[in-house]
């Protein structure tokens, strides 16, 4: 495979993806690592995660300025670019076209799906701000505005790898873009050696003794009215963890009429789940099935007082929860968990 690289408009050097996964693997002798070979965690496109070690100590990267050799123990993370995932690239292209659909529902769905890519898609969005279709231009501007709010929610120290055509390799000193080879690499796992194709990799990072922050986006709808059942987030919380929430969206409060809508803040006009504390329609959470219910609303920041799985729900006055009432719509919830210091 030929290597192609160069500088991007952001000024980052160019490098490539697959060798990178190999790079993350083994600590170079002389660097502190008392636990032996460094471990990489590889997130595959189909959702599974593989962890293991590699024997490669360096990788070579061809750039337009010559070959660059990077020590494995200096690499932090890898994100294959859109050129490495042609099906994903095609999907994103179709979503951009769908922003100009004649069907409003299709336009809304495309906007939501593009927003779900998060800040990683910013460069692609910005390259399309002069789209000839007025509807697409408007919606692209709206997505960028929401990403600006999302950026303020991200932690200051977190990596913000953009989803660009080239593969991205992050080191502890710089970020490189381009195309990595070989097309596959071997990971030594506790179950034996495993060969992974880089086209199947969504993201890889070097494991650290520091606990990583957790970020997740969820939809909460009427199936999570608290008297009916809760929405399991799949996020394990430990006592002392700091949890940050952002939520948007609306649900129709049909008992009060089809024009009555609630935001995640809820409203006293929809009566109370907890008198004068948690109004009907409000987004709420709890940690563990026996945990105290707390209001989240459109934004919240809490320190966990107990350990357990985070669950989300919509508060509702009891007489309006189980009488067959429907509450169309949903809340879009973003959760960030910063682990407690040991």
Q: Is 222 domain-assigned? A: yes
Shared domain check, 139 and 45: no
Distance from C-alpha of 309 to C-alpha of 304, rounded to nearest angstrom: 11
Q: Is 1 domain-assigned? A: no
Per-residue confidence of the chain (342 residues) as pLDDT tens digits?
333 333 333 434 433 333 434 444 333 333 434 444 567 788 887 778 888 886 667 766 666 677 777 777 777 877 877 888 888 889 999 999 999 999 999 999 999 889 877 777 888 899 999 999 999 999 999 998 887 766 555 443 344 556 777 777 788 888 777 777 667 777 888 888 888 887 888 888 876 666 668 888 899 999 999 999 999 888 889 889 999 999 999 999 999 999 999 999 999 999 999 999 999 999 999 998 889 999 999 999 999 999 989 999 999 999 999 888 999 999 999 999 998 875
Please list, in sequence order, all residues whose beta carbon lies within 8 angstroms of the beta carbon of residue 114, skipping any fewer than 6 positions away: 92, 95, 96, 99, 121, 125, 143
If one counts the domains in the chain, the total is 3
123: which 2 tokens?
Answer: 């460069």
257: which 2 tokens?
Answer: 């009429």
Q: Is 319 domain-assigned? A: yes
178: which 2 tokens?
Answer: 């381009």
The pTM of the full predicted model, rounded to 2 decimals, is 0.50
Q: Is 183 domain-assigned? A: yes
Shared domain check, 185 and 57: yes
CA distances from 49 to 17, 41, 42, 200 (A): 17, 7, 6, 11
Q: Is 2 domain-assigned? A: no
Shared domain check, 61 and 36: yes
DSSP string, 256-284: G-TT-EE-TT--GGG-EEETTTEETT-EE
Shared domain check, 288 and 179: no
Q: Is 6 domain-assigned? A: no
148: which 2 tokens?
Answer: 């600006």
Shared domain check, 180 and 60: yes
- Examine the fold and report which residue of 153, 175, 195 is the final residue of a domain before the chain moves on: 153
Shared domain check, 104 and 58: no
Shared domain check, 66 and 90: no
Q: Is 268 domain-assigned? A: yes
Tell me the residue range of the domain where 54 lies: 18-81+166-206
Shared domain check, 137 and 60: no
The answer to whether 80 and 199 are in contact (CB under 8 A) is yes
Shared domain check, 30 and 43: yes
Shared domain check, 104 and 43: no
Please list, in sequence order, all residues whose beta carbon lies within 8 angstroms of the beta carbon of residue 159, skipping any fewer than 6 positions away: 76, 77, 170
What does the pLDDT read at residue 50?
Answer: 83
Q: Is 282 domain-assigned? A: yes
């Amino acid at each position: 495979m030929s290597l192609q690289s160069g500088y991007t408009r952001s000024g980052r050097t160019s490098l490539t993806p697959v060798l990178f996964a190999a790079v993350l693997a083994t600590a170079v002798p002389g660097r502190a690592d008392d636990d032996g070979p460094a471990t990489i965690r590889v997130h595959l496109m189909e959702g599974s995660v593989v962890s293991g070690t590699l024997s490669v100590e360096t990788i070579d990267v061809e750039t337009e300025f010559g070959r660059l050799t990077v020590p494995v123990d200096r690499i932090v993370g890898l994100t294959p670019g859109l050129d490495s995932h042609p099906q994903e690239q095609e999907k994103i292209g179709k979503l951009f076209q769908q922003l100009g659909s004649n069907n409003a529902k299709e336009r809304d769905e495309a906007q939501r799906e593009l927003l779900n890519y998060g800040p990683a898609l910013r460069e692609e969005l910005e390259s399309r701000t002069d789209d000839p279709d007025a509807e697409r231009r408007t919606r692209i501007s709206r997505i960028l505005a929401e990403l600006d709010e999302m950026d303020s929610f991200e932690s200051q120290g977190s990596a913000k790898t953009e989803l660009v055509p080239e593969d991205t390799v992050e080191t502890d000193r710089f970020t490189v873009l381009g195309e990595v080879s070989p097309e596959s690499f071997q990971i030594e796992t506790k179950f034996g050696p495993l060969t992974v194709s880089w086209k199947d990799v969504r993201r890889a990072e070097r494991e650290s003794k520091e606990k990583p922050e957790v970020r997740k986006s969820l939809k909460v709808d009427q199936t999570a009215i608290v008297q009916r059942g809760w929405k399991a987030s799949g996020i394990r919380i430990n006592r002392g963890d700091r949890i940050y929430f952002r939520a948007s969206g609306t649900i129709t409060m049909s008992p009060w009429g089809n024009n009555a809508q609630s935001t995640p803040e809820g409203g006293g006009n929809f009566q109370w789940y907890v008198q004068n504390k948690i109004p009907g329609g409000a987004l709420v959470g709890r940690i563990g099935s026996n945990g105290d219910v707390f209001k989240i609303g459109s934004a919240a920041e809490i320190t966990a007082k107990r350990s357990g799985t985070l669950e989300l729900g919509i508060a509702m006055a009891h007489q309006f929860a189980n009488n067959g009432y429907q509450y169309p719509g949903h809340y879009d919830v973003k959760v960030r968990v910063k682990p407690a210091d040991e």
